[in-house]
Amino acid sequence: MKESTLQTLITAKTLFEQAQRDCAMGDRHKATAGLIVLQDAVELVFYAVLVEKGVDEVTAVEKLDFDQMIGSLGKAGIKVPKSGTLKAMNKLRVTAKHYGQVMEPMTVQGHMNAAKFAVDAVLIAAVGRPLREVFLTELITPGEPRAHLETAALCLSQGRYMECLLAIRRAFFLVFEKDYCIYSYCDIPSNAPPRGVLSLLRGGYKAPYWTRNAEWIRENVKTPMDYIQLDHDRWRMEAVECGINTQGLANIQRLTPQVIRLQNNGEWLVQYPASYLANCANHENAAMCLDLTIEAIRRAQEHSKAARTVRTDRPFDMPTAYVGQPLFERPDTQSRQIVVLSESHQYKVHDFLDGFQPGKKFYYIHCNAPNEPYAWGYIEQREGAFLEDGPETA
C-alpha cells in the first residue's frame, strides 16, 4: 500500500469513528452532523483507492465529484456496492450542509450501514482488508515492535486503554530504551578491560560508561526500572538526527507505564503511579501516545535504513605470503607484536592505510585461529600480495 493511501485512509477511519459516535446518539442535530462527516469519510476512501490504483497519474482525481469518483472506480475494476444509496446520501449531505435541513437519526443510520458495507467491499478489492484493519503501523518495519503497536491499535479500538498503553511502551522500549538497559553488566567488574565491538552484543552500550559495571549497579539500582540509564546528551542528539521531537519522546515516557525486559524473550516488568489507572488510562492518552510512538519509530527506522556500510563479513584463509608475518599493535614495524600469523589463521580486512614510516602501507585486520581469541592489529602490505574482503555495500 502506498504511504499516501495509508495516510488518507487513516484520516477517513478517524472521520468514520466520529460519524458513528454522532449517528448513535439518537439526536437529530448530532445525526445531521454525523451524515456530513460520514460522506466526507466515504469520499476520502474513494480518493485513496483511486490514488492506490494510479488513476491520479492520468486523471485530476481531486476535481472529480462524488458520482464521478464512483464511475472512475468502476473503470479501474473496483465495483462499488450500494452505489445508488451512496449517491442519495451525497444529495442529503448537500441538503444538510448548504440548506441547513435536519436529518432523522433512522435515515442517517441506514446510510451509515450502507457506507460501511460499501467502503469495506471497495477496500477489500483494492488493498485486501476492510477499513477497521488499516493501521499506521504498516509504516513500521515488520518485527516485534510493530507487533506490539498492532496490539496497541487493536486494544485502542476495543476500549482496552491500559493494555494499549502497555503495548505502546513495550514497542518504545525495544526501539529506544533497550540499548540503555545495563542489566547485562551485573557481572562485569569496574576494572574489566574494554571489550571493543563485542560489547555491542552485550547490550546497554548507550548507557553512561560509569554505570556499566557490577559495583555501580549494586549501589544504585533499587528497582528493575533503574536498569535503564539514559545518557541524556546522546538521547537528545540521536533524536535530533532522526528528526524526532524530543518533547514527543518525553510525553510518551510520561504518559505510558514504565516497562522493561531484562533478557530477550524474558518477562515484561511494569511500574506506574498508583493513580495512573484512574487518571491516565483513557482514550485521549492512548490515541495520542500511539500516534507519537508510531511516528517516532518510523523516523528512527528510516534513519537506520539510510546507513550504508562496507561489508566485511566474509572470512578468508591467511594467504601464504603473510604466514609468519607479525601482527603489529600500530601501523609501525617498530611497535609491539601481538601475534605471528600462521596457516591456521583466518582474517577479515577493515582498513587499508599508510603507516607512520614513510613508504610503508598496512592492513588493519582482525584474525583468529582455532582455540585462540580474536586479535586486532596491523600487518604490513607485501608487494604483489593484496588482501581483499569483498567490495559489496549494504
Q: Is the pLDDT of residue 348 over 70?
A: yes
User: Would you state the pLDDT for residue 312?
Assistant: 52
Secondary structure of the chain as H, E, C letters? CCHHHHHHHHHHHHHHHHHHHHHCCCCHHHHHHHHHHHHHHHHHHHHHHHHHCCHHHCCCHHHCCHHHHHHHHHHCCCCCCCHHHHHHHHHHHHHHHHHCCCCCHHHHHHHHHHHHHHHHHHHHHHHCCCHHHCCHHHHCCCCHHHHHHHHHHHHHHCCCHHHHHHHHHHHHHHHHHHHHECHHHCCCCCCCCCCCCHHHHHCCCCCCHHHCCHHHHHHHCCCHHHHECCCHHHHHHHHHHHCCCHHHHHHHHHHCCEEEECCCCCCEEEECCCCHHHHCCCHHHHHHHHHHHHHHHHHHHHHHHCCCCECCCCCEECCHHHCCCEEECCCCCCCCEEEECCCCCEEEEEEEEECCCCCCEEEEEEEECCCCCCEEEEEECECCECCCCCCCEC
Q: Is the pLDDT of residue 1 over 50?
A: yes
Give the lowest-confidence range in 132-136, 273-277, 281-285, 300-304.
Answer: 132-136
Q: What is the mean pLDDT of residues 344-354?
A: 88
User: Would you state the pLDDT for residue 22?
Assistant: 85
What is the residue extent of each domain of the chain? 3-134, 144-305, 316-380
User: Would you state the pLDDT for residue 40?
Assistant: 93
Q: Give per-residue pLDDT as tens, 32-71.
A: 999 999 999 999 999 999 999 988 888 898 889 999 999 9
Correct CATH for 3-134 of 1.10.287, 1.10.3210, 1.10.1740, 1.20.120: 1.20.120
User: What percentage of the chain carries pLDDT values higher than 90?
Assistant: 58
- Looking at per-residue pLDDT, the higher value among 393 and 227 belongs to 227
For residue 148, the Cα-to-chain-centroid distance in whole angstroms is: 11
Q: Is the pLDDT of residue 388 over 90?
A: no
User: Would you state the pLDDT for residue 171?
Assistant: 97
User: Would you state the pLDDT for residue 198?
Assistant: 47
Q: What is the mean pLDDT of residues 314-338?
A: 88
Q: Give per-residue pLDDT as tens, 115-174.
A: 999 999 999 999 888 887 787 787 788 999 999 999 999 999 899 999 999 999 999 999
Q: Give per-residue pLDDT as tens, 192-212.
A: 655 554 455 567 899 999 999
